Amino acid sequence: MPANQLHRLKRAMMGVLAMLGMASSLVAQAPAANAAPSNEASMDMGASKKSVGGPAHAQGSTPGRESVSQAARTYRETAAGLRKAAEQAPADEKGCYLRWAAFDEAVASALESGSQVTDPQPDCQLGAAAGAVAGSATNPEELAKRRAEQQRILDEATRDQQDIQRQLANLTSAVGRGVDQAGQAKEEERLRGKLGVAQLQADQARQRLAELDRAVAAPASAPAAPKEYAIPSLKADVVQLRFYTSGPEFVPVANREYAAAFPAAQSQFIAFQLDLDHPPVDSTRTFTMVCNYTWPDGTTSPVEVDGQIEPGWTGSSHSGGKGWHEAGHWKVGEYRVSCIVDGKTIASGTFQVQ
């Protein structure tokens, strides 16, 4: 919601105080609730460090007691309007309305007693959560229900504005007809305070209706694409492919020394280890994996591995290898190993023989 709409209520109230000759002194001493944006030079944005009350005023004058009472009444009427707005505001915005209402009550009390306001100015901004009116609602029925409620609020606020404007027009037409001018000024002040509340409610309802309309117009989000696994039948993903040397005997995982380069003169078998991550299975599952060794000259040699996963495992390692019982047969160069399951290459890697 534009800031100038959010702060219309307080600006309207300050306009009333200005007519009473008080605005400059109040602005100099206290932050107006929901102070106007910094581009509005008429407001003292640094006023939060000051407080209401005390003998000093910006123009060196002290307003009359009757004017102070009128100002206090305006603050109280504004507080009442904010409490009413809180009843219709989204849950995450109610607290902000109520904090500003309490602050306005404190300002009114200070004006009446001539004391200082000790309550800190609320650090929240009215309407900051207006965009949350759609909340988590995504189904059309819930969105339509929330839209109908906001439309009701807008219609009611619009009727209030029209009624108050008619009353103000009648009040203006009565000027000079023997009506008590002091009483007329008080009534005009009261009506303008109510008008400001109604305008604020209408502005927020329009903003929330726009938010809901955007939510209704937004295309339904496409369902998330199903996750692609390296081995769909096992819901398994590849963690890594590593290489190690061994003799003709099986080497336990804990004893394997992984590397990316191996000495030609000392290497017998050069094996691979493919690590998988997968959910636990209810019973033993098996699969066949073919890993092709591509030699430096471009020739290939396959190694077939019968993979097995036991119940409860959430990860597994599968190994195979190529080589000779005696060292010294590996040719110097780069070798590539590509592993295939169900016709799909799921991992590949290279190692060097030096």
Rounded average pLDDT over 192-220: 75
Average pLDDT, the chain: 74
**Rounded-to-integer distance, Cα 277 and Cα 269, Å:** 26
The token pair at 41 is: 């030079």
**Rounded-to-integer distance, Cα 222 and Cα 321, Å:** 45
User: What distances in angstroms separate CA 256 from CA 45, 243, 246, 251, 324, one per listed residue?
Assistant: 70, 9, 8, 6, 18
pTM check: above 0.85: no
Task: Decide: 147 and 192 in contact? Cβ < 8 Å.
Answer: no
Instruction: For 25-66, write each residue's pLDDT tens digit.
Output: 332 333 333 333 333 332 222 222 222 222 222 233 333 445
Q: Which domains does the chain have, with CATH numbers?
A: 3-217 (no CATH), 232-353 (2.60.40.1930)
Rounded average pLDDT over 311-340: 94
**Rounded-to-integer distance, Cα 323 and Cα 303, Å:** 11
- Highest mean pLDDT (candidates 111-115, 153-157, 186-190, 313-317): 313-317
**Rounded-to-integer distance, Cα 294 and Cα 174, Å:** 102
pLDDT score recorded for residue 311: 93
Sign of the alpha-carbon dihedral angle for 240, 243, 244, 247: positive
